[in-house]
Amino acid sequence: MTRAVRVVCHEVLVVFVVLQSLNLKRRKAGILPSLEDLLFYTIAEGQEKIPAHKFTTALKATGLRTGDPRLKECMEMLKVTLKTTSDGALDRHLFKKCVQSNIVLLTQAFRKKFVIPDFQSFSAHIDELYENAKNMSGGQVADYIPQLARFSPDLWAVALCTVDGQRHTVGDTKVPFCLQSCVKPLKYAIAVHDHGTEYVHRFIGKEPSGLRFNKLFLNEDDKPHNPMVNAGAIVCTSLIKVMNFMNKLAGNEYVGFSNATFQSERESGDRNFAIGYYLKEKKCFPEGTDMTSILDFYFQLCSIEVTCESASVMAATLANGGFCPITGERVLSPESVRNTLSLMHSCGMYDFSGQFAFHVGLPAKSGVAGGILLVVPNVMGIMCWSPPLDKLGNSVRGIQFCTDLVSLCNFHNYDNLRHFAKKLDPRREGGDQRVKSVINLLFAAYTGDVSALRRFALSSMDMEQRDYDSRTALHVAAAEGHAEVVRFLLEACKVNPVPKDRWGNTPMDEAVHFGHHDVVTILRDYHNQYTHQEGSTAKKNEENLDGML
Ligand code: GLU
């Protein structure tokens, strides 16, 4: 069997093994080990028993928290079981007893089936971005009310929650602060969830205003421009009734209320009162609305307290189509979430919205307390919080973090996921994509398809990628005697001419072994030349590649 075909076979084998592993009937019949046993062997690493702390440490490395509501049964059983042991360790039997009621989630976690499979290394990247922004000193803490003015400018926190409920936090993530304008997308989502898009947009537009968020101004139809500016948010407030949505959005994590902030907002809220009266004059509210009590409700919603951690779950519920990742509860309709993300994308960052959409390309909403609620749709929700604001009212450190995140990872809405830009793709799909890319590359080398290889090189594919056996495209092309492919890989792509596969063979060994003399000559000539010009720079390679393509 040729090597390239073996690569494909290997993939088929993986799929086969996965299918096998789902054969629960056979497991139950005792023919195959149970999922619980597999999990035990994975974590035990050859030992007879698993110390409880080893289990919880391994669990945390997947991104799951021991306090995750989805693991309640497991954790309760663990507590009870540990009391019966003398050494705080679990044998296979006890382990099974503890994990069996949450085995599906645990198996997913340990088989790296979550959206961010390598959660530890992703978290390490987040910590670096956090540290980078921490050094920033610019900006002003809002001081129009004492409750905001009292915050230290040094406070800085980032918390994230993925759509699979993986959590990571860094910095002051447990300090309560008010959502302020970050509540605007949430109440808009609730309004659409309750009444539908058509009804809500009878009262509010969908267009960026191009004006400051608290401007006393309506669009041509005498409606507020959108629900992310104050006028729109005040009207939106008149369309919603309940606050218990907030708890559900946050998966029952911390949601509080700052009465002092509410009182101060009301006392200092002349502009909002002016907007309220203007909206009333222009008949912007549904019939029968009591404008002043709506304004009170508006100030109360601004005064809802969260922590960075709990707000990251709210953002994750938006990232997850309205389902709270850690409770599994459907909180908002998919339609309301889609609308909300669209409007956050175009209008969420005050007068920086267009630039943010351009540079970061993700839906976000910031607030005067220094929060930025950021959503990576279908991947994760993030809350950044740091009180110092830039001139446009956005958190200085928050903006830096969001920008850095998108420079590092291909999370921008218009980053191309197929022809990989040279950015990190921490998603699961990324892993699959890489496997596919090795197969495609080696298959093209096997069939001698130079034009496919040109396309791969143009889309920044790593032409030195190795398969399971550490074989490269050059090994395969040399073994198959495809002289043109060998030349292209060496001269245009400047791949390493002497990679070793897992048996220690180089492409030259392959060409000799299979008697491809033309390939032997090309490799030898190139090798001589290569050893003479070791200083060749990446830039030179690129120029060369341009020429050849
Ligand atoms: N309480 C503020 C207002 O309505 C919210 C400001 C903000 O976060 O943008 O004016």
145 lines ligand 1 (CB under 6 A): no
CA distance 111 to 6: 24
Give the SS3 label for residue 172. Answer: coil
The confidence score (pLDDT) of residue 421 equals 64
Which atom belonging to ligand 1 lies closest to the Cα atom of 393? 9
Backbone angles phi, psi at 33, to 5 degrees: -65, 150
Query: In whole angstroms, how far apart are CA 436 and each of 28, 137, 430?
Result: 34, 45, 10
Same fold, 32-109 and 118-406: no
Judge whether 322 and 341 are in contact, CB under 8 Å: no
Q: Which CATH number describes the domain made up of 32-109?
A: 1.10.238.210
Backbone angles phi, psi at 385, to 5 degrees: -145, 125
DSSP string, 273-309: HHHHHHHHHTT-SPTT--HHHHHHHHHHHHTEEE-HH
Residue of minimum CA distance from atom 4 in ligand 1? 230
The confidence score (pLDDT) of residue 213 equals 86
**Which mutation among 143, 144, 214, 216 tests ligand 1's pocket best, with the greatest number of atoms within 8 A of CB?**
214
The confidence score (pLDDT) of residue 462 equals 87
Which atom belonging to ligand 1 lies closest to the Cα atom of 350? 9
For the entire predicted model, the pTM comes to: 0.79
CA distance 52 to 54: 5
The number of angstroms, rounded, from the C-alpha of 272 to the middle of its chain's C-alpha atoms is: 35
* Helix residue ranges per DSSP H, 135-258: 146-149, 183-195, 197-203, 230-237, 244-249
Query: In whole angstroms, how far apart are CA 57 and each of 65, 81, 162, 183, 511?
Result: 10, 18, 19, 35, 49
CA of 147 to the centre of ligand 1 (A): 13
The confidence score (pLDDT) of residue 38 equals 85
pLDDT 10s digits, 366-378:
999 999 999 999 9
**Which mutation among 148, 151, 180, 261 tests ligand 1's pocket best, with the greatest number of atoms within 8 A of CB?**
180
The confidence score (pLDDT) of residue 370 equals 98
CA of 199 to the centre of ligand 1 (A): 25
Judge whether 236 and 227 are in contact, CB under 8 Å: yes
Judge whether 219 and 204 are in contact, CB under 8 Å: no
Domain 428-538 has CATH 3.40.640.10: no
Rg of the Cα atoms in the chain: 29
Bin 431: left if φ > 0, else alpha if -120 < ψ < 50, else beta: alpha
CA distance 56 to 301: 37
Which atom belonging to ligand 1 lies closest to the Cα atom of 213? 9
* Per-residue pLDDT of the chain in tens (549 residues, 90 and over written 9): 455 445 444 444 443 343 344 445 555 555 557 889 889 988 998 899 999 999 999 999 999 999 999 999 999 999 999 999 999 999 999 999 999 999 999 998 988 889 999 999 999 999 999 999 999 999 999 999 999 999 999 999 999 999 999 999 999 999 999 999 999 999 999 999 999 999 999 999 999 998 888 888 999 999 999 999 999 999 999 999 877 899 999 999 999 999 999 999 999 999 999 999 999 999 999 999 999 999 999 999 999 999 999 999 999 999 999 999 999 999 999 999 999 999 999 999 999 999 999 999 999 999 999 999 999 999 999 999 999 999 999 999 999 999 999 999 999 999 988 776 678 989 865 556 667 788 899 999 999 999 889 888 877 788 999 998 999 999 999 999 999 999 999 998 999 999 999 999 999 999 999 999 999 999 999 988 766 554 444 444 444 444 444
CA of 302 to the centre of ligand 1 (A): 7
Extents of the domains making up the chain: 32-109, 118-406, 428-538
- CATH domain 118-406 topology: Beta-lactamase (3.40.710)
DSSP string, 422-484: SSB--SHHHHHHHHHHHHHHHHHHHHT-HHHHHHHHHTT--TT---TT---HHHHHHHHT-HH
**Which mutation among 143, 265, 306 tests ligand 1's pocket best, with the greatest number of atoms within 8 A of CB?**
265
As a whole number of Å, the end-to-end CA separation of the chain is: 32
Question: Which of 368, 294, 397 has its CA nearest to residue 145?
Answer: 368
